Amino acid sequence: MLDLTGPKILRGLAGRYRELELDDKTFDRAHKVFTAALAGGRHRTRAELGEVLRKARISTEGQRLPHLLSNAELTGLIVSGPRHGKQFTYALLEERATKARAMERSDAIAELTRRYFQSHGPAQLQNFAWWSGLTTAEARTGVRLAEAALDHEAVDGKEFWFDAKAGRAPEAAGVTHLLPNFDEFTVAYRDRAAIEHERAALSSILTNVVAIAGRVRGTWGRKVAGGSDRVEVRTMDRFTSAERASVEDAGRRYGRFLERPTKVAWQSFV
């Protein structure tokens, strides 16, 4: 999968790499440092890998560290490891996924297509191309190759693809989620008309959003004050009492995750 999608992403980052003074020599040095730090089944957090880079006299200033890490991911050196508490870690791909198999390009396109529409469907072809980084022609090829595992339906003149074995999703009424920025619910689709509120343009869809019954109805942010947290919710329209109660419940769930007292504060877009 990395062989399929990684090279295009790396080409798109070439300009940013120049701005950060990251060249092939620097990446090679960083990769050797990562390999030494993670070999033998070890896994380290982002901060820990930043420290070993600095000890090797490789600067991690500004955005260099995340780009050094992402380059190692895109080239198939490192991958997500097990968590340390609530912190994410990295591990060597060859040790973490010992049974990874090489695939022909056409097989990889078919596999990625199946996985996307089975996990994100119903979705349009343009959504898949947007999410995967494949060209529209490659996305069409993927749908053709994976067609036996998929079904499709036209809604309002738009064609949606989804898992052929999937049943109808349960009714989402009353279900509220406080979603983080870059959540798959928003960034996995280029056409977000089905989930966006008509006033969503007032705020970036890539920020933290309040989703009620599958629709973006507001945004939220976390404010820390003393020993408690406040979830500040900005609504895009009037909420019913049941909707407000569901948001309050989502705030309590968030507080339990943080293991801190958490309250919801309400604001409105002007």
Query: May I ask the CATH architecture of the domain 2-96?
Result: Orthogonal Bundle (1.10)
The full set of domain ranges for the chain reads 2-96, 105-163, 176-268
Residue 205: pLDDT band (50, 70, 90) is low
What pairing do the DSSP bridges indicate for beta strands 44-45 and 78-84? unpaired
Q: Domain 105-163 belongs to what topology?
A: Arc Repressor Mutant, subunit A (1.10.10)
User: What does the pLDDT read at residue 200?
Assistant: 57
Query: Nearest-5° angle of CA 30, CA 182, CA 80?
Result: 40
pLDDT tens profile 121-151: 999 999 999 999 899 999 999 999 999 999 9
pLDDT at residue 177 greater than cutoff 90: yes
pTM for the full predicted model: 0.78
Q: Are strands 44-45 and 87-92 parallel, antiparallel or unpaired?
A: antiparallel
Assess whether the region 2-96 and the region 105-163 belong to the same CATH fold. Answer: yes
State yes or no: pLDDT of 210 exceeds 90.
yes
Q: Which residue has the tokens 């992402």?
A: 70
pLDDT of residue 175: 85
